[in-house]
Amino acid sequence: MLGSLRPPRCSALGARARDLWDEALERGALFAAAQALGCGRKRAVDLAVAYAKERKQFGKPIGAFQAIKHHLASAQTKIEFARPVLYAAAAELDAMSSRAAPRISHAKLACCTAADTAVHAALQIHGAMGFSWETDVHFLLKRSLALANAWGTTGLAQKTRHEAAAVAAARTRHYICCTL
């Protein structure tokens, strides 16, 4: 999955050691995806909702305005769609399936994208206060950026997912040609 990360002195290591190294990297990517999803889901959205209820503009809470609702709905939707992807990747890894690597790549991509959307929505809702020490939103931004680049970037995850889709399409074409 993470072809750019290689174990030290990989030529001196056996095949079993390389397999263990790849499994460790896949587990790290899965755990980073889970942490990113939690960062977006629990903290960023909760902070944004609490602030939107508290802050008043034009005599009513800013959470009553449609633009704020749209930001929060987009963030929550991405989070809710990323969660089953994460669970499926964890199940594939637990079953030691050959499809674990593409699922983990997809989970990392979906979870980091959801966390990024949630944190940016929280920043938008908080305005300039999101970058100040008065709220924890700036910490969440730093964490989501760090997690997106930890254990393989989301660009690498997207490339791996596209490669897995191409292999699956080739297998399907081969199966159809052989059965006709």
CATH number assigned to the domain comprising residue 170: 1.20.140.10
pLDDT of residue 152: 73
pLDDT of residue 167: 56
Q: Is the pTM of this model over 0.75?
A: no
Q: Is residue 6 part of a domain?
A: no
Return the ∠ at Cα 49 (arms to 132 and 81), rounded to 5°: 110
pLDDT of residue 168: 54
pLDDT of residue 1: 46
Q: Is residue 5 part of a domain?
A: no
H or E, element range at 179: helix 154-179
Q: Is residue 20 part of a domain?
A: no
What whole-number percentage of the chain has pLDDT above 90?
Answer: 12
Rounded mean pLDDT of 85-99? 84
List, for residues 101-158, the tens digit of each pLDDT value.
888 889 999 999 999 999 988 888 877 666 677 777 778 888 888 888 887 765 655 5
Q: Is residue 19 part of a domain?
A: no
Which position has the token pair 């006709």?
Answer: 180
DSSP state string for 36-93: HHHIIIIIIHHHHHHHHHH-EETTEEGGGSHHHHHHHHHHHHHHHHHHHHHHHHHHHH
Q: Is residue 118 part of a domain?
A: yes
Mean pLDDT of the chain: 77
Hey, which residues does 56 pair with through a beta bridge? 61
Which position has the token pair 């790549």?
Answer: 105
